[in-house]
Structure 1
Amino acid sequence: MTTYDSKPVAKWNTRDFQAYLKAEHERLYGVPYVPFRGYQAEAGMLGHWVGTKRKPGEYGPEITKRFIDLCFAQYRPTAEWPGISFGFMQTYMGRNLQRAVAEIRAEEAAQQRREQQAEIGDDFY
């Protein structure tokens, strides 16, 4: 069975994201992951962002993963809130979505410039 760590992020589905959230959460915070309103509700939220077999997502897997990673990097656990969930990230850390989109778009533009440069070749200049 393929899992999130054996395929590119672009191919991740909601199950891959839930497995990633669980593994990263336990690695970073040392406590079990608890999904926002349960796994089924969280799968619906992730499906809206990432997409499903039937419907494309609003942001896609790359932006969603970058958003999650930014949230994990910024979150500081407390005694009352020792961990976070995707629902918490969406609700209270939504500002990271703009940053994730901007970073991904900048990387894509840089890649496109590199490809154009390679097409043209150095002898043009």
Structure 2
Amino acid sequence: MELLTGLVGENFGAGPIPTALVAHDGEHFLGTAALIECDEETRPQYTPWIAALWVEPEHRQRGIGAALVDRASQLAFTIGAERVYLLTRERRLSFYEGLGWKVLEANAPELGLFILNRDRDD
């Protein structure tokens, strides 16, 4: 699996945020994740965020999602972030906790949603 960072479409500006990470095997799309300024408008003080993680169903359980999240985190740290955030539903909480993410806010901004964070030194 190769990870390619691409600037695609109107969601992307001149700086490192926002950035899309695309996992592919040759010409076969495997998954994607984004590094964005903010994923929760009620928490603008939290920045940057990893968002829109997606792995094609037939390629799940192969470490692709974990690799995308890790690469997006490392990109955030490389550009100077000390902490990075993400928003997930309860059913995906154990996946992120297994990658070392910590719950910052439970049931926020609504019941069943969790804001997680990971620090540079974690």
TM range (shorter): under 0.3
* TM-score of the aligned structures, taking structure 1 as reference length: 0.23
Structure with higher RCO (Cα < 8 A, 6+ apart): 1
* Larger Cα-atom Rg: 1
Give the structure with the larger helix fraction: 1
